[in-house]
Structure 1
């Protein structure tokens, strides 16, 4: 079948375009040809998700919502350490520098964009490291795959029992947190935690229990004086700074034997008295030699968390105990309780 003239014309034009382009290029001055070959830079605007690794080799999940409006960079960086506004920066070709406010300190990201990935380095204060994030959407604030994994950053802070209730298997004897020195340290801690800008604060109290939220409301009204409990000294203090209306209990109370408080008749325990310095354990001596912030940094370090997990794992080593599943059940109950606490965190998270 003979092709129609229209299709034939199309085939001819397609064949002629390269020749015409080559002739046009050859007739242009070299400077003009160079301008024609300059590639258009990639758009940096979008939603990115990935992680940063700091100098302590901690992997920090993060998301970047970046808007590039004619060279003016804006947006925010969400991480497990807080949400930080992007305040400036610049870019050239595939390289970009992002400046952000890291809670009063200047932070900088220097990266390159390649195949939808930003990879490079970051610095903030005396910390820094590598960063690798992938663009998941061309529009800041959402991911094409659905709800962003960074929609709700959560900061977990492990603390010691400041009021010495003596209810744990291993009890650290704390010094008096009501002294002027400790109170100043707790104010400093609250200032630093406030940089995370939490919208909710969860505490070790039974889920939906109203006792501590009610005490917090009295505290806001000026009818409650802070005691030694860490819920009061840290959570109350921080929540008031942030003008938060309430606190959220997320605990699931269960003992290592698998029983809940309602299933056991417990003896009344009074807070343990303060020990003399000579009888302090190495951990208790470290607490007294440290500020509250320094000691909490120690408790939440990767090495200390690993050591705590190892304690449960090594308890499963073979023994002569005839109750062969006793320790396995204790370890299972420990993680069962913590997983139920995690489920309660999900219930109060938006």
Structure 2
């Protein structure tokens, strides 16, 4: 009798750690001023965070570095290893001793991803890949808007104010340890908030138009959201497609570097977590996982 499990693909568990960019401000349209992660106090907090994450023996760590820079990444990591061997841990917090390359010493890719990987003797990989931005639809008068400036009337649900989101995040950074902050960031309500904001920002780039309509509103106070014969230029759909293609590429790059039954961690901007997870859920060979069991004492 044939083994029914013989053709089963050995899955890689991919723990997706959502992060704000520690090297902010400057990475995103609405960046968070997170203070200086190289300060002594923040370094102690990052060590506590890495202690938690090291509770899972990761074989490899994916970094939000373009895959095209993988050779430069390998050279930089070799130089970092040599500097650490020669001068010790001080190289991790001294920008003057930091070798050139795509990794920024203050960034989460270094202070979480690379340092955790070196502690666990794990491989590091550049897994980001950005497609060429789409052109606006032919005949459209709108331009694609890559900011998070959401037209709340253009989407059929409530969306948070980006400035309020950033202000809340900066307040949390100022009042919380990194461990507390990452616990909050990776809980589902916060991940969903990030995701809804990104989707809404994309969709609100579309132009809606309608010719003369004869449809009547159901009530005088609640007009239809969109007239029955309204047309759209689909600018927002193109923008959203670009975003999902980038995240699908990230997932595909993770699959490419994974070995069967391995443990991988992806250190990525928090807005990427849900789309990467959605793609991984549908992919063969990757099982997405939350970092919360490592970060909390009360999660199953």
What TM-score does the superposition give when structure 1 sets the normalisation length? 0.48
Distance 1:170 1:189, change over 3 A: same
Once the two structures are superposed, what CA deviation does each residue of 1:63-116 show, in whole Å capped at 9, x if it has no partner? xxxxxxxxxxxxxxxxxxxxxxxxxxxxxxxxxxxxxxxxxxxxxxxxxxxxxx
Tell me what 2:73 maps to: 212
Deviation at 1:328, TM superposition (A): 1.6
Distance 1:318 1:191, change over 3 A: closer
Q: Which structure features the higher share of strand residues?
A: 1
Matches within 5 A, 1:108-147: 144=5, 146-147=7-8
Once the two structures are superposed, what CA deviation does each residue of 1:112-155 show, in whole Å capped at 9, x if it has no partner? xxxxxxxxxxxxxxxxxxxxxxxxxxxxxx97253355x32111
Q: Which structure features the higher share of helix residues?
A: 2
Contact 1:203 1:231 in 2 (8 A): yes
| Unaligned stretches of 5+ residues in structure 1 | 1-141, 260-279
What is the distance in 2 between the residues matched to 1:145 and 1:342? 25
What is the distance in 1 between the residues matched to 2:65 and 2:26? 16
Matches within 5 A, 1:63-78: none
Deviation at 1:329, TM superposition (A): 1.2
Tell me what 1:186 maps to: 46
- Structure with more contact order per residue of length (Cα contacts < 8 Å, sep ≥ 6): 2
Contact 1:258 1:333 in 2 (8 A): no
Tell me what 1:100 maps to: none
Distance 1:222 1:175, change over 3 A: same
What is the distance in 2 between the residues matched to 1:331 and 1:240? 36
What is the distance in 2 between the residues matched to 1:167 and 1:318? 22
Deviation at 1:300, TM superposition (A): 1.4
What is the distance in 1 between the residues matched to 2:252 and 2:240? 18
Contact 1:256 1:334 in 2 (8 A): no
Equivalent position to 1:327, from 236, 240, 255: 236
Q: Which is higher, the Rg of structure 1 or of structure 2?
A: 1
Matches within 5 A, 1:199-278: 199-207=59-67, 209-222=70-83, 225-226=91-92, 227-244=105-122, 246-254=123-131, 257=134
Once the two structures are superposed, what CA deviation does each residue of 1:275-319 show, in whole Å capped at 9, x if it has no partner? xxxxx8221011111111211122211111111222244343697
| Unaligned stretches of 5+ residues in structure 2 | 93-104, 137-165, 210-231, 260-300
Local SS of the residue matching 1:281 = helix
Matches within 5 A, 1:307-346: 307-315=193-201, 316=203, 324-346=233-255
Local SS of the residue matching 2:44 = helix
Distance 1:251 1:318, change over 3 A: closer
Deviation at 1:258, TM superposition (A): 6.9
Distance 1:143 1:281, change over 3 A: farther
Matched, 1:293 2:171: no
Q: How many residues align?
A: 187
Comparing 192-201 and 316-325, the one that deviates more: 316-325
Deviation at 1:212, TM superposition (A): 2.6
What TM-score does the superposition give when structure 2 sets the normalisation length? 0.56
